[in-house]
Amino acid sequence: MRFDILHRLVTAAVVWVGFGALFLSGEFGLSVVLPALAFPVAGIFSWRLAGRRHSGRLAGLLAVLGGVGAGWMAFSTTDYLLWAIKFAVFLACLKSLYLRMAVDFMHMYALSFLTVMAAAVVNPGLSFGIVMLPYTVLLVFGLMLNSLRQNMERSILDRGRPDSAADAAAFMGRRGIIRRRFVLVTVGITLAVFFSNVLFFLLFPRMGLGFFARQQRQCVAMTGFSEEVTLGDFGNIISDLDVVMRVVPNGGPEAGMLRLPLRMKGQSLDSYDGRTWRKTTPRRYQLDTGEGGLLRPRRSRDEAPPGPSFERDVYLEPMPGTVRVLFGEPMITGFRPPMGMLDAMRTDKLRFFADPAGDVTMTGPESTALVYTVESSPPPSDPALLRVAGDSWPQRIKDLYLPVPPQDPGVSALARRIAAGRDNAFDIAVAMENELRNGWAYSLDSVHGNTDPVADFLLRNKTGHCEYFASSMVIMLRVLGIPARIVNGFYGGERNEFGNYVALRKSDAHSWVEVYFPGSGWAVFDPTPPGALDLRKGGGLLAEIRAAIDAVKLTWYQWVIEYDLEKQFEMVARLLKVKKDKGFGDNINRRDIRRIAREIRNLPWGTIFGIPVLLFGLFVGVRALAPRVLKGRGLPSAVPAVIHYRRARRMLHRRGLVRAGSETQIEFAARAGVEFPSVAADLELIAWQYCAVLAGRQPSVPPGELDAALERIRRALAS
């Protein structure tokens, strides 16, 4: 391929890939994407425009007009970043039509680099990482080709001859300039650049303190986890396969695998107005760190003490809103927040709150993922104990969890029919759970009226999703005077074999029921037909691919997007074997830092620093003293290659061959080789080795071989 065409193709590819990193963010519409992708391709063929008269002025005018337009739009929409990026894209498109000299190509690479910088801000997704590798390859190749183009231009155009432009054009049209060796060099350089980049990325100290902003990620859009949930909201997200959280047992995969399905409670809601569930629980209070770094929500005195606890590590994807719900398996007894060593210095600190209902929320930086440990105990489930719990509910429970809006008489009648013949709350709840599971159908498509969706679900439509099942059961229990509440969370999950965790997707969002039993607390009931939840799950090869992508995404988020000073310490801690990998990573605390410091102190610093310092001192000393010591001596005569060359030169001199002043040693050897063809190779070998010494390198041929060569020369010249 012609050099010029190849260079233009590579440049267009660099621009394309740079744009790709930007456009994969999804922030730009087709009206920007399509022209932006078309211009670099057009530039491959339309470069002759650049040579036309006034074309430069026209380009400058267009750039100014574009800048004014973008500035005006930026100020009128106050979206400065977006319009600055659009202007950079416009400039890159314009420049792609005017690629003529090496400097134009360099401008193109700079603009492309700017688009990648912009992409780093607007596209934190895995797509950016996927694009970076081809971008590095193409950029390195493009820059190298541009370096060659620049050399060509300088060597041809600098002469200032009238026909030099034609020479340049002829040179650019030459084929075979890029040979296999050049491609190999490019590959080597690309690998070196890539690994250097990885090293820089890992080792460059993260300050962890942004003066202006913090690393943010795109949030997972969620409904149903605020303090006000309209019935039917879950139906919008259940069909979505985005991963919301990933769960492993505390201690990592070594602690064993979780049993599926996994139930992760989010938020309970108490008040229902016939259409919307609300949380009216009073007095949210801030949680303080307790024993073992755990934040423990207060427990009611009339609840039984929690049983044996277990811990889960949760990686919670960023969600919108300043107040975020924390999830855990019921019954949640404590949280271990991600309090790292830098948190005390942060202005946007994480704060954790609990309410009397036992739900935990947090405030802190938005659009960031959260890794925490949640401690849970099994909820009360012993039928014998729950049957005898009685009906002496505390007043605050009755106040919150018994009110119901005016109901359709049919709903009350249905509740009483199910409860008929049962004398305790537990049996009634179990009967109601079974009745709903068996008598009503699960559907995501059912539509219920706005007036009384629960009555519509229970009495007429008889199909709905989990919210309708749970709401119906809560309303019927409350009608019967049994305190109950609806709980929103996640239920299900799929094991990810690639990442050794359980992933819960939006499609696992679920509502269920908690019923209060005096002396025991909140027991879990789930009236949704269990088989129906399996309908949401996918399977086969597609699920495998989805799992693999999710594992890669998690690695990307953890080790690239959320890589910070603590991660760097964690990496050092793992290298020094101070800490083991526990789940989604364990926070580095002061004790770990002390251990790391101790390990680092114990490293052989004398050797690590002493040897380089000694070598540097030697280098400086030799450099400073060598010219004085060797002054007047020329090359070190003890070096074999020098001895051999000088002897060979004397022999040739005796045969009348003298090296001319303008002749290099190798040229002289070649000339002597013409005179004495039998030893031409030996003469050349000795001359090459001598030149190597002249260039400050060690001879690459052992002295024995040089001895043999010299001996052959001696014999040839003697005969």
Partner 1 sequence: MGRLKGFLWRSDFFPRKLSFSREGKVVVLISIGLGFAAVNTGNNLLYMVFGLSLALILISGFLSEYNIRSIVPGRMGRLRASAGRPASFMLGATNLNKRMSSFGIEVWPLVDGNGVQVEPARFLEMPPGTAADAPGAITFSRRGRYGMHGVVVSTSFPFSFFRKSAVTACSDTVVVHPVVHPIREIDLPAAAEGEDESLPRAGRGFEFFGVRDFRVGDNPRNISHRLSAGRTQLIVREFEQTGNKEVMVALVNVDPGGPDGLERAETAVEIAASVAAHLLGKGRVVGLVSSFDAVSPGSGPAQVERILDYLATVPILELNSPGEEMHVRRMLASLNPGGVVWVRP
Segment 543 to 602, residues that bind partner 1, using CB under 8 A:
560-564
- 37 is a site residue for partner 1 (CB under 8 A): no
Neighbours of 384 (CB within 10 A): 7
- 707 is a site residue for partner 1 (CB under 8 A): no
**CB-wise, 50 or 143, nearer to partner 1?**
143
Neighbours of 7 (CB within 10 A): 25
393 within 8 A of 358, measured Cβ to Cβ:
no
85 within 8 A of 73, measured Cβ to Cβ:
no
Strand-pair partners of 351: 363
CB of 619 to partner 1, least distance (A): 11
524 within 8 A of 268, measured Cβ to Cβ:
no
- 625 is a site residue for partner 1 (CB under 8 A): no
CB of 692 to partner 1, least distance (A): 5
Residue by residue, what is the 3-state secondary structure of 286-312? ECCECHHHCECCCCCCCCCCCCCCEEE
Q: Which of 31, 661, 674, 719 contacts partner 1 by CB under 8 A? A: 661
264 within 8 A of 327, measured Cβ to Cβ:
yes
Whole-angstrom CA distances from 579 to 196, 240, 569 are: 27, 37, 10
Which region, judged by CB under 8 A, interacts with partner 1, from 347-355, 449-457, 527-535, 684-692?
684-692
H or E element, residue 481: none
- 201 is a site residue for partner 1 (CB under 8 A): yes
Phi, psi angle pair for 122, to nearest 5°: -95, -10
Q: Which of 208, 330, 483, 499 contacts partner 1 by CB under 8 A? A: 208
- Give the strand order in the sheet containing 370-376: 332-336, 370-376, 310-316, 243-249, 501-505, 494-496
- 25 is a site residue for partner 1 (CB under 8 A): no
Instruction: Write out the binding residues for partner 1, residues 162-191 only, by CB under 8 A.
Output: 181-182, 185, 189
- 541 is a site residue for partner 1 (CB under 8 A): no
Q: Which of 392, 438, 602, 700 contacts partner 1 by CB under 8 A? A: 700
- 10 is a site residue for partner 1 (CB under 8 A): no
Contacts of 682 (CB under 8 A, 6+ apart): 709, 710, 712, 713
Q: Which of 88, 144, 402, 683 contacts partner 1 by CB under 8 A? A: 144
CB of 319 to partner 1, least distance (A): 20
- 363 is a site residue for partner 1 (CB under 8 A): no
H or E element, residue 400: helix 395-401
What is d(CA 509, CA 490) in angstroms, rounded to the nearest whole number?
4
CB of 354 to partner 1, least distance (A): 29
**CB-wise, 121 or 708, nearer to partner 1?**
121
Instruction: Write out the binding residues for partner 1, residues 244-283 only, by CB under 8 A.
Output: none
- 608 is a site residue for partner 1 (CB under 8 A): no
DSSP annotation of 495: E
User: What's at 267, amino acid-wise?
Assistant: Q
Which region, judged by CB under 8 A, interacts with partner 1, from 78-86, 356-364, 671-679, 693-701?
693-701
Q: Which of 20, 43, 124, 249 contacts partner 1 by CB under 8 A? A: 124
**CB-wise, 117 or 323, nearer to partner 1?**
117
- 621 is a site residue for partner 1 (CB under 8 A): no
**CB-wise, 657 or 691, nearer to partner 1?**
691
296: tokens are 């423990």
Whole-angstrom CA distances from 642 to 379, 645, 660, 694 are: 88, 5, 19, 9
Count of residues that bind partner 1 according to CB under 8 A: 74
- 482 is a site residue for partner 1 (CB under 8 A): no
Which region, judged by CB under 8 A, interacts with partner 1, from 76-84, 207-215, 370-378, 543-551?
207-215
**CB-wise, 497 or 667, nearer to partner 1?**
667
**CB-wise, 310 or 688, nearer to partner 1?**
688
Q: Which of 9, 37, 74, 117 contacts partner 1 by CB under 8 A? A: 117
Q: Which of 58, 694, 716, 717 contacts partner 1 by CB under 8 A? A: 694
Alpha helices per DSSP H over 123-239: 126-157, 164-172, 180-203, 234-237
What is d(CA 518, CA 515) in angstroms, rounded to the nearest whole number?
10
- 370 is a site residue for partner 1 (CB under 8 A): no
Neighbours of 430 (CB within 10 A): 17
Whole-angstrom CA distances from 705 to 648, 650, 689 are: 14, 19, 11
What is d(CA 44, CA 38) in angstroms, rounded to the nearest whole number?
11
CB of 88 to partner 1, least distance (A): 13
Q: Which of 159, 175, 396, 416 contacts partner 1 by CB under 8 A? A: 159
- 343 is a site residue for partner 1 (CB under 8 A): no
Q: Which of 46, 55, 127, 136 contacts partner 1 by CB under 8 A? A: 136
What is d(CA 234, CA 15) in angstroms, rounded to the nearest whole number?
42
510 within 8 A of 265, measured Cβ to Cβ:
no
- 219 is a site residue for partner 1 (CB under 8 A): no
CB of 697 to partner 1, least distance (A): 7
**CB-wise, 192 or 597, nearer to partner 1?**
192
